[in-house]
Amino acid sequence: MINIRFLRENPEAVKENIRKKFQDAKLPLVDEVIELDRQNRAAIAEADTLRASRNSLSKQVGMLMGQAKKDPSKAAEAEAVKEQVKQNAERLAALEADEERLEREIRSRMMLIPNIIDPSVPIGPDDSANVEVERFGEPVVPDFEIPYHTQIMERFDGVDMDAAGRVSGNGFYYLLGDIARLHESVIAYARDFMIGKGFTYCIPPFMIRRAVVEGVMSQTEMDAMMYKIEGEDLYLIGTSEHSMIGKFIDQIIPEETLPQTLTSYSPCFRKEKGAHGIEERGVYRIHQFEKQEMIVVCKPEDSMEWYEKMWKMSVELFRSLEIPVRQLECCSGDLADLKVKSCDIEAWSPRQQKYFEVCSCSNLGDAQARRLKMRVRGEDKKLYLPHTLNNTVVAPPRMLIAFLENHLQADGSVTIPAALQPYMGGKTVLTPKK
């Protein structure tokens, strides 16, 4: 959510930003907010005037009532002032109701207006206009056929999609044996990797209130992703970023504690609505998965530096596991409404002979802080909004796909890189059972 003062003073800049995001249907929202804001400020000004006059009128009534005891002619004057006080009170109550209504209407529209994107963001309507920036590691296509990832797992008796379907429906899975151990090893390695980078390890709540959901994401994302707990003001998290940023809701953060750098483990739950192609079946696009995440809360002037640091951490982690990756700059039309700038880290798929998304790094500016009423008290005692950032450390279902494809050998075995061997009990290779 952008600053309403900025919108009030720069309506054309806000409209141009909406056009850059190819959301022209939202253009009328700007003028609607400006008019509602004008009405609201007028109501506030009139209400303030009435409040200021309330005390003087009340004193006047008291004085006239006292005088009326000696001079009966003053009684009528006192009654007239009392009637004025009553009318003012009724008008003030109406104005306060108007203020509340107008503020709701303004907020509902402001929540739909996209954040101002960084000037460096490439302009394009959708992910087809995303721009490759850099590759890390040499993508290799082996001289033997690589099966679909669930077929690789089945050779190790490592996945059971049928049983999960019977128990939970489509979009769920059982991981077993060496594949389940590999999954947890990757999570444990990612945890220690981030602790080594100076991040504080955190296990957050896996359910959050609606106020937090609305604070960290757009309504469109919320409807597409979140599972609501029936009868409760709670949602299952789609990513631990939500509850980690939510940790600071309604808080005043001492400036000397910045940056706040947290890395968290959590399960994640997502609706994943819509039809998906064959490449997004198996354990690629699912309703439940586990993830290691990182978030940063920092001074505004430091956020772009942290953005660069964070995506590079993902690259370093994947390269330490000998998986080739690339950085892909997200274009304007592919940015969620709260994001200022974002990039994907994509891993190489030897089977598909192309890259696919495994991490997403985003700078959200002060949008989440404004929605959540997060503030920082500076050295001068003044309050300001911090910037928030998030990035995937690793989400093992997709990581497993990249890992298995890039480490599969011609005989069906899977090699374990040195960085992961301590987490796999010293194993250097996994041998298939089929």
User: Is pLDDT larger for residue 69 or for residue 377?
Assistant: 377
Number of C-beta neighbours around residue 385 at 10 A: 18
Whole-number Cα distances in Å, 122 to 9, 26, 129, 239: 25, 20, 8, 26
Number of C-beta neighbours around residue 306 at 10 A: 22
Q: How far apart are CA 53 and CA 172, in angstroms?
A: 65
The residues of the chain that CATH labels 3.30.930.10 are 127-430
Q: What are the pLDDT digits (tens) for 68-106?
A: 555 566 666 656 666 777 777 888 899 999 999 999 999
Statement: residue 283 has pLDDT above 90: no
Residue 263 confidence (pLDDT): 98
* Contact criterion met (CB below 8 Å) for 125 and 333: yes
DSSP SS3 for 414: strand
Of all residues in the chain, the percent with pLDDT exceeding 90 is 81
Residue 378 confidence (pLDDT): 94
Following CA atoms 24, 29, 31, 33 in sequence, which dihedral angle do they give, to the nearest 10 degrees?
-160
In the chain, the amino acid numbered 177 is G
Residue 64 confidence (pLDDT): 52
User: Is pLDDT larger for residue 109 or for residue 89?
Assistant: 109
Beta partners for residue 261, in sequence order: 296
Assigned CATH for 127-430? 3.30.930.10
Assigned CATH for 4-110? 1.10.287.40
Q: What are the pLDDT digits (tens) for 297-334?
A: 999 999 999 999 999 999 999 999 999 999 999 999 99
Query: Closest Cα to residue 247, out of 262, 226, 259, 236?
Result: 262
The residues of the chain that CATH labels 1.10.287.40 are 4-110
Residue 275: band (very low, low, confident or very high) from pLDDT cuts 50, 70, 90: very low
Residue 410 confidence (pLDDT): 96
Q: What are the pLDDT digits (tens) for 9-24?
A: 999 999 999 999 999 9
Q: What are the pLDDT digits (tens) for 191-225?
A: 999 999 999 999 999 999 999 999 998 877 887 88
Statement: residue 122 has pLDDT above 90: yes
Q: What are the pLDDT digits (tens) for 128-147?
A: 999 999 999 999 999 999 99
In the chain, the amino acid numbered 281 is R
SS (H, E, C) 51-104: HHHHHHHHHHHHHHHHHHCCCCHHHHHHHHHHHHHHHHHHHHHHHHHHHHHHHH
Average pLDDT, the chain: 91
Q: How far apart are CA 235 and CA 237, in angstroms?
A: 6
Structure-block tokens of residue 167: 């128990």
Structure-block tokens of residue 329: 């700059």
Of all residues in the chain, the percent with pLDDT exceeding 70 is 91
Contacts by residues 410-415 (CB-CB < 8 Å, ≥ 24 positions apart): 410/142, 410/143, 410/144, 412/155, 414/152, 414/156
* Contact criterion met (CB below 8 Å) for 347 and 355: yes
